[in-house]
Structures are given as C-alpha cells and as structure tokens.
Chain A
C-alpha cells in the first residue's frame, strides 16, 4: 500500500534543527537583499551622476572651465548621508523616528554643503533668460553663428507645440478609442488590426516623404505643420492606450445611462469620460513630455530661428558655445528639462497605469 510506504519513510526522517534553519533564513534574506540593492545602486549610478553633474555645472561653472571638485565634494557629502539614512530606515521601524533622523541628516548635509561649496554657487549662467545676445558676448561677434532669438521665444514655441499637440491627441484618440472600444460597425476588426500594425510601424522611416508633403502643402517651417505630424504619427499608440482604458469601464454604467434616456454621445460625454479621467491625464502628460522633447522632426521641419523650439535652441547654444562655456549650456539644459521633469515626478502615478494592452499572457 502506497500510504504505508509514506508512513514508513517518515519514521526515518530526522527532526529538523529549527534554530539553525532560522539563522540560515535570516542570513540568506540579508545577503540577498543587500546584493540586490548594491546591484541597483551600482547600475543606477551612471544615470544619476550625469544629471547631477549637469546641475553642478549649471550652478558653478564659469566661462572657460568646470568645477569638478564641487561635484566630488557634493558627492562625498550626499552619498554618506543617503547611506546612513538607508541604514536608519532599515533598522528603525517607527515612522516618526525615521522622519526625525531624515530631517537631522538633511540639516547636517545641507550645512556641510553650504559650508564647503556654498560660495561656489552662482546664477550667472542663467543670464540667458534676460539677455538675448549672450552668445555674442561669449564669442566675439565675428565668429558667432546665427543670430539667436530670445529664449522665451523658443520656450513659448515649445509650449504652443506641446500643448496643441496634446490637445489634438487627447481629443482624437479618446474619440477614436471610444468608438473602436464600444461601437459595433462594419470593418471594425479590419480597422483594429490595421491600427495594430500602424502602432508598431516606425513613422521615422517616413520622414522624407512627410518633409516633401509639408513642403508641397506649404506647412514646412511652421509650428502647425510639426504639430500635425507629431500628433498623427503617435496617434495609433494613443488610440490603443485609450481603447484599453475604455475597455475597462463597466458596460453597466453606460447601459443604465441609456435606459435613463441618454444618447450614446451623451453617455460618452457625461458618464464614460469621467470614468477614464486618470487615463486622460496619463495620455496628456505623456503626449506633452513627448512633444516637449521632440528633436528630429523639428530639426528637419523647422528652419528659421523665429520658429525654434527649446530643443533646437539648446542644440544651437551647445553647438555655438560648448567648447567655451559649459555653464551656460548646462543652465539652458536645466531650464529646458525642468518642465518635463516636474510633470514626470508629479504625474508618475498616472503614467504607470498606461499599458499597451493585449499582450498574450
């Protein structure tokens, strides 16, 4: 009998040494977690350090050089502070104590930084915000290249481009996403499959014909042209994202809205759209960040400097003065990154909800 075998075998089994097992478990968990953390810190350092370097250059560099000692001094203060805090965080469970320890460390680190590198910080590199002709001041007039527009000109061009592209994408993709998610129509599956192919299709390959089309229509070198192109080439992706969000809205609320006398258009506007507002925020943020950072298309389609957006402005500034003045380039870069960085930090929880649905599991 099978069961007899099992029972007989158990008699021979030794009693486990529980304390030894507990010690081994603790050791394993500790080494495992520390190794994973060490790995993450090591591989993430090459990302964090350059960003930090950029900020340091922007606030300390003067024409002709960079202050690398400031970077390493700051690292020497910040890295131990972070390390000490992580040890405190791991060993102290009480949130109050953790917070207090964090604040104390922050104060100490802040004081140290102020004492060690405080007087090296300055805002001179940000003079590009008020002085349009700073490039001529750095290089002599004879060598400087194009006449630079004011940074605010580029800033507002970027803002115009990003906002209007976001509005177009938001409107068009939520309308289309809703339609393909919820309406039965002839050719629906063909349309869906076509969109699916397009969403993976690399629009970058079409840059030459699109350039010519804009030229023929007369939209070359206009913000409107770039805006339409950018909105269109990203559209299939966003339509799918929106379809995913609409798929998640329960049918019941729509059906009950319709039994209450709403038409489908009203149901969409009054009942369904509010349900996907987080999806809308995610799409808006993502679309804005994408348009804000665009480079290849604007470089190809925008020529005159009155049409420059921030990416072109930064590119030409770095092209013109990089070898001479790191500080001002870094300052422009910081100024340019700031909006997308803030959006990213504050809207991260919405962004993570976006999925390109429908991958087989």
Chain B
C-alpha cells in the first residue's frame, strides 16, 4: 500500500520528449485511470513508476520517500503489460509463481499463494498450460495474477483490456474493479478508452503530449473540462466546436450572435455537447432554425447532423425512432449553462457563460 507522488517528472529519449513534466498525487488505495491519445507518454510514465525507465528529471515518491534510484526489483510493483509479457517457456503456474522465486518463501507456500491468486482471477483450471495455449482474456488474467501474487504496493495496468472483445472487456472491467476493491491496492490503469477510464476509476487523469491536461472525476472532465483538448477528447460523439469572436458583450459565431453573461473580449471557441442540444427546448439560448442533413440511428438514441447558423452541428436525441427526417428544418437550441467557452489562444476554458 502506498501513496504515490510524481513531481515534475520528465523523460526524454535522446532529445525527443516523451513525458514533459508531470505532477500527480495518488492516495493510498485509490484507483486512478490515465487517459490519453496514442503516444502521449502513458506507458513511459508507468515504466518510470515500475523502475524500468529512469526519469530524466523530477521525482517519484512512495509514501513520501524518493524511489528514483530504487531498481524495479526493489519497488514491489505489480504490472500488467500492454502485451501481457508472459514467459513463453513456463506454464501458467510457473508464470504466476515466478515473482515469488525471488522472495524468501518456501516452495509449498509459494505454490499455495499462487493457486490462491489464480482462483481469485479465475484461471485455476489452466495452471498446466503454456501461454501459447491461452486465449487473450486468459493470458490477461494470468498476467494479472502474476502482478498480484507478490502483494504489490502499487498495481499498474497498461491497457490491459485493449486486446479483448467487447463482451469479455465488460466482464474484465468489473472483475478488475472487484479485485482492486477487495485488495485495496493502489492502482493505476492506462487506457485510451474513455468509457473504461470513467467506469472503472475513482479519478481520471487526462494526458496529452507528455503533460497532464486535467485530473478529476468523470463528471469534472465532462462538465468542467479545463482545456479544449479535454473537452474534445472526453465525450462521445465528440463536442461541437466553433470559432467565434467576443466583443461588447456579444459572441459572434459565423452568422449567429449570442449574448454573454460575463465580459469577454477576443477570439473564443464555443463548445456545444451533442447531448445538450435540444429541439424546441424551453428557455434555450441561441435558438436557430437548422436544416437536418443526416440521420444516424444509434440504438437507444439518434445522432443528427444539421446545418445551423453556427455551422455544421451534430446533436443527439433519446429514443430509438428518429423524430426528424433529412431536410427537415428544426428550431435547435441549448440550455445556456451547458455552453462551454474557451480562450482560443491558450485553449483554456473561460469562466464566462452564455446569457439566457
């Protein structure tokens, strides 16, 4: 069990910056998800936590003690690699027992503990097989067992579910969550799937090009994104973004003009979530007549694309059956509180709101 802290952590690969200064604190027993696009430095950060890569600068502390110079073998960290990294020449049981070889534990005790963990992740029927004879989901659970068997201070999961089919992914999500709760081990999950991040973790850290963009609960990220990047990365279908200009209490976006509740000047980006847009909503701002250009039923909701005064806009309506058809003209608006305003230059969200 450990409280983990990263202080201005950097990693460069011969001049190329993979991680550009991360500050992060993770409470003992917390489950944190790291979310970000491919190549943003998620795996590199995990590898530094595990002691495989050495930070270029900055500190990693476990329970307040600096561990930068502690080798991987001394850190007592469990890790499930993106590719599982099971030892091909060993059976499942040998794989799970491997970390205990290097502790002063008797063989019978080691085997008992390994079987126990195997039961926990439900691979007790596969112990004599080799990794080559396992399915992706089984391999992943073997990797998880191997990470857990040494009772780590810290559990690192690097996109553990990316190779699984949708059904298995759902099961494994709940299973990992359950195991983490039961053991209470501090856990960091890396993923680029936002649903995975928001459903499994207590807290989500969004990374982009080697930096932390924002951290908080799923709700924070969705409703109060700190930056344009977070706003566009979180939420599906993605948020509608429009370039606009604010002057004299009014925001102009293409042909549309919106009154502002707070004083803002200059280039501004307006963000509208597809699910906050409504047809004929009472008390809505920015109501414009929009012509629907595409209708995509998505099961329990319908995604529309329309030409509005703001530009091309996408919005969602609940219900399996489409209520509008192509070329229909609909009065489209949104609750004023749901509109997000960003400074165009810095990309940071503005506190300002659209007036009713």
Is A in direct contact with B (CB under 8 Å) within the complex? yes
* B151 lies within 8 A of A16 (CB): no
| A25: Cβ under 8 A from any B Cβ | yes
Given A13-B151, A19-B65, answer yes or no on A6-B71 (Cβ-Cβ < 8 Å): no
* A22 lies within 8 A of B67 (CB): yes
* B66 lies within 8 A of A25 (CB): no
- Contacts of A23 on B, CB cut-off 8 Å? 69
- Which residues in window 225-266 of A have CB below 8 A to B? none
* A3 lies within 8 A of B183 (CB): yes
Name 17 A/B residue pairs within 8 A (Cβ), A-sorted: A2-B119, A3-B120, A5-B116, A6-B183, A10-B183, A16-B74, A16-B76, A18-B62, A18-B66, A18-B70, A19-B66, A21-B67, A22-B66, A22-B69, A22-B70, A24-B74, A28-B71
- Contacts of B68 on A, CB cut-off 8 Å? 22
| A7: Cβ under 8 A from any B Cβ | yes
A3 (CB) vs chain B CBs: closest residue: B182
* Cα separation A207 to B179 with both chains bound (whole Å): 71
- Contacts of A5 on B, CB cut-off 8 Å? 116
* Cα separation A3 to B69 with both chains bound (whole Å): 32
* Cα separation A188 to B193 with both chains bound (whole Å): 48
Q: Digitize B49-84: 1 where CB-to-A-CB distance is under 8 Å, 0 elsewhere.
A: 000000000000011011111110011100000000
| B238: Cβ under 8 A from any A Cβ | no
- Contacts of B179 on A, CB cut-off 8 Å? 3
| B184: Cβ under 8 A from any A Cβ | yes
Number of interface residues of B (CB under 8 A): 23
User: Smallest distance from the beta carbon of A31 to chain B beta carbons, Å?
Assistant: 13
* A2 lies within 8 A of B116 (CB): yes
User: Smallest distance from the beta carbon of A59 to chain B beta carbons, Å?
Assistant: 40
- Which residues in window 178-236 of B have CB below 8 A to A? 179, 182-184
What's the interface size class on A, roughly? 20 to 34
User: Smallest distance from the beta carbon of B125 to chain A beta carbons, Å?
Assistant: 15
- Which residues in window 157-174 of A have CB below 8 A to B? none
- Which residues in window 127-144 of A have CB below 8 A to B? none
Which label, helix, strand, loop or mixed, suits the secondary structure of the B interface?
mixed
| A295: Cβ under 8 A from any B Cβ | no
| A52: Cβ under 8 A from any B Cβ | no
Q: Digitize A3-45: 1 where CB-to-B-CB distance is under 8 Å, 0 elsewhere.
A: 1011101100101101101111110110000000000000000
* Cα separation A24 to B70 with both chains bound (whole Å): 8
- Contacts of A3 on B, CB cut-off 8 Å? 120, 179, 182-183
- Contacts of B183 on A, CB cut-off 8 Å? 3, 6-7, 10
- Contacts of A29 on B, CB cut-off 8 Å? 71
Q: Number of A-B pairs whose CB atoms are under 8 Å?
A: 54
Given A7-B182, A9-B151, A13-B151, answer yes or no on A2-B120 (Cβ-Cβ < 8 Å): yes
| B148: Cβ under 8 A from any A Cβ | yes
Binding site for A on B (CB under 8 A): 1, 62-63, 65-71, 74-76, 116-117, 119-120, 148, 151, 179, 182-184
* Cα separation A29 to B69 with both chains bound (whole Å): 10
A10 (CB) vs chain B CBs: closest residue: B151
- Contacts of B182 on A, CB cut-off 8 Å? 3, 6-7
Looking at A10, A15, A19, A25, the one whose CB has the most chain B CB atoms below 10 A away is A25
* Cα separation A22 to B74 with both chains bound (whole Å): 8
User: Smallest distance from the beta carbon of A283 to chain B beta carbons, Å?
Assistant: 31
Q: Digitize A73-112: 1 where CB-to-B-CB distance is under 8 Å, 0 elsewhere.
A: 0000000000000000000000000000000000000000
- Contacts of B66 on A, CB cut-off 8 Å? 18-19, 22
* Cα separation A140 to B66 with both chains bound (whole Å): 80
- Contacts of A25 on B, CB cut-off 8 Å? 69-71, 74
* Cα separation A16 to B66 with both chains bound (whole Å): 12
* Cα separation A9 to B184 with both chains bound (whole Å): 13
* Cα separation A18 to B68 with both chains bound (whole Å): 10
- Contacts of B1 on A, CB cut-off 8 Å? 10
Q: Digitize A163-200: 1 where CB-to-B-CB distance is under 8 Å, 0 elsewhere.
A: 00000000000000000000000000000000000000
- Contacts of B67 on A, CB cut-off 8 Å? 18, 21-22
- Contacts of A26 on B, CB cut-off 8 Å? 69
Looking at B69, B76, B116, B151, the one whose CB has the most chain A CB atoms below 10 A away is B69
- Contacts of A9 on B, CB cut-off 8 Å? 151
Shortest Cβ-Cβ A-B pairs, 5 listed: A18-B65, A3-B182, A22-B69, A25-B71, A21-B74
* Cα separation A10 to B76 with both chains bound (whole Å): 12
Given A18-B65, A22-B67, 18 more A-B residue pairs with CB atoms under 8 Å apart are A2-B116, A3-B183, A6-B116, A6-B117, A7-B182, A7-B183, A9-B151, A13-B151, A16-B74, A18-B62, A18-B67, A21-B67, A21-B71, A21-B74, A22-B70, A23-B69, A25-B71, A28-B71
* B70 lies within 8 A of A7 (CB): no
* A6 lies within 8 A of B148 (CB): yes
Looking at A2, A7, A10, the one whose CB has the most chain B CB atoms below 10 A away is A2
